[in-house]
Amino acid sequence: MKINILTAVPEYFVGGLATSIIGRAQKAGLVSIEIISLRDFADGKRKKQVDDTPYGGGPGMVLKIEPIVRALDFLDDKSEKGQVWLTSPRGEIFRQQRAQQWSTLPYLTLICGHYEGVDERVTNFIDGQISLGEFVLTGGEPAAVAMLDATVRLLPGVLGNSESLVQESFCESDFLEYPQYTKPAEFRGLQVPEVLLSGDHGKVAAWRAQMAKKLS
């Protein structure tokens, strides 16, 4: 899978994507992530301006349409654009089902919103808008990282035990995952539920189903 991230702040992604599961997935060739600076597609020899004041007045700056569409054209020329989504507080709430759908795509492009917003005409060049929730961030970069993480971990071979993907939160009937425990069986008077120590797999499965339903 190839994931492209279009951003006015490419520095945000330095380091974080090279570590943990995402870093290992890239090293193993399971996913390729390209961070594309919108300034590389902006006008001006010295100051590569990606934003400007809004028509009609008002506070803040608005991301310009030209750098975004030029970057998308660049990806189109390489046949590596795929589905295009813009991070935006107006977008669809990102859920596990969307991560699962994205993980089946050969190419995915995320545009990070920033400043006061994005020129509305950009919506003519995208497949959808996506949001982490009903709150406002200074930019779409944190949202893009979270969505990327949720998507990449679903790719075949990324996690060591694929069974963990089946049993985790939101994967079955939108239930949350049941509580987990590990050694020791007792810590400062706090006990692991006896059913988990029983060795009875049927009872364990029933308890986990009951707890998942209770938590959801």
Distance CA 101, CA 173 (A): 16
pLDDT at 167: 52
Domain annotation for the chain: domains and CATH numbers: 2-152 (3.40.1280.10), 172-215 (1.10.1270.20)
Q: What is the pTM of this model?
A: 0.83
Q: How many helices (H) and strands (E) does the chain have?
A: 6, 10
Q: Which amino acid, 119?
A: D
E-state strands within the chain: 2-7, 32-37, 51-52, 62-63, 83-93, 107-111, 117-118, 128-131, 186-187, 190-191
Helix (H, G, I), strand (E, B) or coil at 130: strand
pLDDT tens column, 57-110: 989 999 999 999 999 999 999 999 999 999 999 999 999 999 999 999 999 999
Nearest to 142 by CA among 2, 58, 16: 16
The arithmetic mean of pLDDT across residues 130-135, rounded, is 94
pLDDT tens column, 12-63: 998 878 888 999 999 999 999 999 999 999 987 667 899 999 999 989 999 9
Asked if residues 101 and 128 have their Cβ atoms less than 8 Å apart, the reply is no
In the chain, the percentage of residues whose pLDDT exceeds 70 is: 93
In the chain, the percentage of residues whose pLDDT exceeds 90 is: 77
Distance CA 169, CA 208 (A): 12
Residue 125 in this model has a pLDDT that exceeds 70: yes
Per-residue confidence band for 164, with pLDDT thresholds at 50, 70 and 90: low
CA-based radius of gyration for the chain = 21
